[in-house]
Amino acid sequence: MNEINQNQVNFYTVSEADENQRLDNLLIKVLKGVPKSHIYRIIRSGEVRINKLRSDVSDKVKLKDIIRIPPIRVAAKDENHKHIPQATFPILFEDEHYLIINKPNGIACHGGSGVSFGVIEQLRKTQIYKFLELAHRLDKETSGILILAKKRLALVELQELMKTNQMTKEYYALTIGAWKDEKRNLKAPIYKYTNKEGERRVKIDAELGQFAHTIFTLKQKYNQFSLVNADLQTGRTHQIRIHCQYLGHPIAGDDKYGIFELNKSLAKIGLKRMFLHAHHIQFKHPINNQVIDIECPLPDELSNFLATIN
């Protein structure tokens, strides 16, 4: 059994559902309610061992590995008292390997950083799926296509497609101002950091940043706005948002990289969220080679706002 008693030393046996995960990600899943900072601390201190050997946060676990987990001397949250409501989301595609849904705005992909639960916890609560993991993530404020894997192999294979840029991922963004170019091919490296409030942020940094590439295509010009299609060539945190800001056209309603005073004005005329929506995805199914091509139209609150500014 792999039940964890956080008041004593535990020996956790890696199952098929855990295989090939990073050690830190596995412990975050297993040690529910324990702060990530504490998990990283016990790994780096050498208290966590894999097959009796000192381990690193990025080590990949293998089937039947024995992981030593020390007593957790923190006041962990009691998951039994945390209410996670069951939820269903509009299904765009499903087979034995993948579940692809239309994620609404305002719902995080997963719990953490002040968020009690997200899409993944709500879907697991239904107990329909024996295994379910996010294949990628969308920001809480972003709506649209989200892929989840129903098997470990399917997850690993799909993430390899993403890593090697064999998947089309396109978003609609309503940006501030008039774009001069019909098409813009932007390569600007992104550096991820945490601000004084502990919030995750990014910025363009030529020295410290990771390579990031977005292809923007102008779809429609409006009075004071431009609707663009953003075709992701890489998948960095907040990539579209910071690339739009870098080009001088921040996304309407973006509370991190946008224009605060303008966002307040937009909320008064109907745009109460960030205008960013994952509308198209295409890839070759890594298990059966079927071409998966999915379109997800703008939600009503965004299409209705466009109608008011047309």
Helix, strand, or coil (residue 26): helix
Helix (H, G, I), strand (E, B) or coil at 261: helix
Catalytic annotation, pick one of 18, 24, 139, 254? 139
Tokens representing residue 305 in the block: 């706002």
User: 51 Cβ partners below 8 Å, 6+ apart?
Assistant: 65, 66
CA distance 86 to 147: 18
DSSP 257-282: TS-HHHHHHHHHTT--S--EEEEEEE
State CA 308 to chain mean position distance: 31
Residue 139 appears among annotated catalytic residues: yes
Beta bridge partners of residue 134, listed in sequence order:
148
CA–CA gap between residue 263 and residue 125 (Å, rounded): 35
What's the residue count for the chain? 310
Phi, psi values for residue 289, rounded to 5°: 70, 10
Which of 75, 80, 78 has the alpha carbon at shortest distance from 125?
Answer: 80
Q: What is the 3-state secondary structure (H, E, C) of 227-252?
A: EEEEEECCCCCCHHHHHHHHCCCCEC
d(CA 110, CA 117): 6
Which residues are marked as active site? 139
